[in-house]
Structure 1
Amino acid sequence: MEVLLIAIVAIAGVAFLTTYIGQRWKSNKGEEEVEVAAEPLEECCGAHEVCETDLLNKMSEEIIYYEDEELDVYRNFEENDYNDDQIDEFREVLYSLKEKEMEAWLRSLELRKIELPSVIKSELVFMLVRS
């Protein structure tokens, strides 16, 4: 009976050790894979629906203009401070953008500290959800 109990404890100990060592080995291997994936790509291969370089552009602090330099005068405005003519300026830029440029335009406005008028925010959300 004691031999059976010792054998069960030994088997449980071996199973615990192999599981523990296997998990540690997988976690170390996973960290290496994450480091490799974080390296920036030189060019987009065009095989993806969304290019990885777009993700890199989102993370950058470089301001990209979308022929909307005139919107810089609205820096530090609140979303409800705009009149109809000013809202139309934002609308004109928004509707001239390609679908894939909309998120980057939002990032550009954010970096320039330009808040969208509330009406334009609603339109933009509708356009992004619809696509």
Structure 2
Amino acid sequence: MKALLILLVATAGIVLLASYIGQLWRRKKGIVEEEESNPEPMGDCCGAHEICEVDLLNKMSEEIIYYEDEDLDAYKNFEENDYNDEQIDEFRDVLYSLKEKEIEGWIRSLELRKIEMPSVIKSELVFMLVKH
């Protein structure tokens, strides 16, 4: 059972990483997805749900929002495997202090600040998202 769980988390991590790399590749090649070029709310969103509004604002915004994580700016341009245990714990402290609805915004904030998450944190994040 434990091996199955590890396999599931590893597979989810690989899928997440592959989609992230694909997204970066498309941006570099100038391929823009239709959704990104037309950031209007979907027909299913009535505007009464906080999640719809937050998602729309996060995707449209290029403004950097800090989540009491200014110290992480020191890791700009680090690679995901360059972190030591103490540095990984800094990311972990921020991640586990966030509310569920803030996680996507935090990830976007790190992307805008050019901060690569440690690979261990990416795996934990995938596990948290799959769990819910």
TM-score tier, shorter chain, comes to 0.5 to 0.7
2:40 aligned with 1:38 = yes
The residue aligned with 1:102 is 103
* Structure whose CA Rg is larger: 1
Q: Any idea what SS the aligned residue of 1:51 has? A: helix
CA distance in 2, matches of 1:80, 1:67: 23
For residue 55 of structure 1, report the CA deviation from its aligned partner: 1.3
CA distance in 1, matches of 2:74, 2:65: 16
For residue 49 of structure 1, report the CA deviation from its aligned partner: 5.9
CA distance in 2, matches of 1:81, 1:98: 27
2:80, 2:116 within 8 Å by CA — same for their partners in 1? yes
Q: Residue 53 and residue 102 in structure 1: after superposition, are their counterparts in 2 closer, same or farther (change >3 A)?
A: closer
CA distance in 2, matches of 1:54, 1:110: 15
Q: Any idea what SS the aligned residue of 1:50 has? A: helix
- Residue identity over aligned pairs, in percent, reads 80
CA distance in 2, matches of 1:105, 1:50: 15
Give runs of ≥4 in structure 1 deviating > 4 Å: none
The residue aligned with 2:130 is 129
TM-score under structure 1 length normalisation? 0.63
Q: Which has the higher contact order (CA 8 A, sep 6+)?
A: 2
Query: 5+ unaligned residues in a row in structure 2: which ranges?
Result: 1-37
2:73, 2:113 within 8 Å by CA — same for their partners in 1? yes
For residue 50 of structure 1, report the CA deviation from its aligned partner: 1.8
The residue aligned with 1:68 is 69
Q: Number of matched residues? A: 91
Give the CA RMSD over aligned residues: 2.2
2:110, 2:116 within 8 Å by CA — same for their partners in 1? yes
The residue aligned with 1:118 is 119
CA distance in 1, matches of 2:40, 2:94: 33
CA displacement 1:7-43 (0-9 Å, x = unmatched): xxxxxxxxxxxxxxxxxxxxxxxxxxxx9x938xxxx
CA displacement 1:84-130 (0-9 Å, x = unmatched): 00000000000000001001100000000000000000000110111
Q: Residue 100 and residue 83 in structure 1: after superposition, are their counterparts in 2 closer, same or farther (change >3 A)?
A: same
TM-score under structure 2 length normalisation? 0.63
CA distance in 1, matches of 2:50, 2:113: 28
